[in-house]
Amino acid sequence: MENIAFQPELRPVIPTVYGPKDYNDMRETFEQIDRILIESGVEHSFIARKIISIKDSVSYQKRYKTYWLALRYGILLAITGFPYRQLAAAVADSNVFQWFVGAGHIDGVRPLSKSSIERFEKLIPAEEIMELVDKLNKAVADEKIVEQLLYREAEMKMDRIFADTTCMPANIHFPVDWLLLRDATKTLMKSIVYIRKHGLKHRIADPKSFIRQMNKLCMEMTQTRRKKDALKTRKKVFRKMKKLIKTVESHGNNYRKLLAEHWRESDLSEAEAQVVLDRMDCVLLQLPDAVKQAHERIIGGRRVRSEDKILSLYESEIHVIVRGKAGAEVEFGNTLYLAEQEDGLIVDWELHEGKPPADSKLVESSMERIEAVHGRPESFTADRGFDAKHSRGFLEKQGIDNGICPRSVSALQEKLDDEGFRLLQWRRSQTEGRIGIFKNAYLGSPLLSKGFAHRKTRLAWCVLAHNLWKLGKVAAEEKNRLQAQAI
């Protein structure tokens, strides 16, 4: 597999720019990322493994190029944090980006379209990107090749682990109960407009008028808080919403049935019709529960359990996460676990689809994953949320130094007498910053990807991009330092 050859296309040299230091730093970092990907063999071995079963040389060359572009664009997408459309325009305009993804040619520039970038991002599963991250981390932890990759003699050790959890917020509005009815109205009526546009019609008033009516009721609902009889007025407005949504649901079911039975009479393909049907089904199946939920809260004045709440009609795998922090008492999304080593490389992560587990239950599984790739670490450090009898017992049994901050005040005072513990906790404070950088600079807040599987894939791309950017910066700084010493 490693002996598979590929003829890379020539990439025009990036023009010399005499100007901002920030630009030159960015350019040098991209150049070092490119070199690390090539010289570590991580990029080539990954792509070769993907296409090893292809025998025809023409198909082989084409598939190699496809996965090379998918890898490069996936990294660039995560580094920049741009939406697909914006990245397509940025590559067309930036010499550095063109060089990195091979869009520049002798006869002109040929960047990918936004649709191709989106398709390429989802071409490689999250699990395979995770393997790529592990291989990259192992490469820079190898004292035999670290000097070649990073221009330094000391390898990046994976023996001290620092971990924390956070909420990866979903791209939804604040989950107000009656706003779910507005969302349902918009989705169903826009779908009906689309179906009518393509030749299938059923008796109905102007579909857009239903959206206007629901928007008007939503504005009335928001203004009820200013009135003296606010509770009574809210109930009155909500009853109007229920009456309207019942009509909307009826029209939605009629048009859903019409499209399912007569799509051949329209100018839609079967795949296009199925997309519309899936979109309508997603709303129609949840709509009775959404109405019931709003009724319980507004008419009945009863609380709904968090596990029973519909937070979004479009994102079913998100949860209510109580953080208890200033400005974020409650968040809506998925729990994200991150573990980094001392230099700041992310070595382990996990995005939880189901109900978020207690932090202390994440220690054992994380240590097992890290040990399988890098060997058993010397220490594990985290905040007091990870402290529990079973996590302490596991670390002691495995011979791993326990740097977790104790919940007990007396136990904390006792451990603070240990200088090693104090140093680990001092270093742990940087992990808070690492999570902030990762969420805001790479993932985006909120993450725009739709569906848990796509969010998981984007998360893996962001971890890979984060580690590559970190390594690229280190390599660029070390190279400049050696050049300065040589003068």
Cβ proximity of 439 and 333 under 8 Å:
no
Q: What average pLDDT does this structure show over 63-71?
A: 91
Which residue type occupies 16? Answer: T
Q: What tens digit of pLDDT does each residue of 125-182 get? A: 999 999 999 999 999 999 889 999 999 988 899 999 999 999 888 888 888 889 999 9
The rounded distance, in Å, linking the Cα atoms of 30 and 13 is: 13
The rounded distance, in Å, linking the Cα atoms of 61 and 79 is: 27
Tell me, what DSSP letter sits at residue 344? S
Q: What is the pLDDT of residue 53?
A: 62
State yes or no: pLDDT of 217 exceeds 60: yes
Query: Residue for token digits 């005499």?
Result: 18
In angstroms, the Cα distances linking 290 to 162, 236, 333 are 41, 18, 19
The rounded distance, in Å, linking the Cα atoms of 244 and 408 is: 55
Cβ proximity of 297 and 242 under 8 Å:
no
Give 223-235 as a DSSP string.
HGGGSTTHHHHHH
Q: What average pLDDT does this structure show over 212-235?
A: 89
Q: What is the pLDDT of residue 274?
A: 95
Q: What is the pLDDT of residue 55?
A: 58
Q: What average pLDDT does this structure show over 10-25?
A: 86
Q: What tens digit of pLDDT does each residue of 31-49 get? A: 999 999 999 999 988 888 8
The rounded distance, in Å, linking the Cα atoms of 483 and 487 is: 7
**Mutual orientation of helices 230-262 and 207-223 as an angle, nearest 10°?**
160
Please name every residue paired with 165 in a beta bridge, in sequence order, or none if there are none: 337
Cβ proximity of 72 and 100 under 8 Å:
yes
| Domain boundaries of the chain, sorted by first residue | 1-156+460-487, 158-172+316-448, 179-308
Measured in whole angstroms, the distance separating CA 188 from the mean position of its chain's CA atoms is: 28
Cβ proximity of 478 and 152 under 8 Å:
yes
Cβ proximity of 137 and 158 under 8 Å:
yes
Q: What is the pLDDT of residue 265?
A: 92
Q: What average pLDDT does this structure show over 305-310?
A: 83
Query: Residue for token digits 């729990």?
Result: 335
Q: Which helix (H) or strand (E) holds 169?
A: strand 160-169
State yes or no: pLDDT of 378 exceeds 90: yes
Q: What average pLDDT does this structure show over 296-311?
A: 87
Domain 158-172+316-448 class? alpha beta
pTM assigned to the model: 0.89
DSSP-based three-state secondary structure for 349: strand
And the tokens for 129? Answer: 């990107």
Contacts of 383 (CB under 8 A, 6+ apart): 164, 359, 404, 405, 428
Cβ proximity of 61 and 67 under 8 Å:
no
Mean pLDDT of the chain: 90
Share of the chain above pLDDT 70, in %: 95
Q: What is the pLDDT of residue 2?
A: 52
Cβ proximity of 273 and 266 under 8 Å:
yes
Q: What tens digit of pLDDT does each residue of 79-92 get? A: 999 999 999 999 99
What b/e sequence results for 269-301 when a residue is b if at least 16 CB atoms lie within 10 Å of its CB, and e otherwise?
A: eeeebeebbebbeebbebbeebbebbbebbeee
Q: How confident is residue 284, by pLDDT bands cut at 50, 70 and 90? A: very high
State yes or no: pLDDT of 7 exceeds 70: no
Q: What tens digit of pLDDT does each residue of 238-283 get? A: 999 999 999 999 999 999 999 999 999 999 999 999 999 999 999 9
State yes or no: pLDDT of 1 exceeds 50: no
And the tokens for 417? Answer: 């007498």
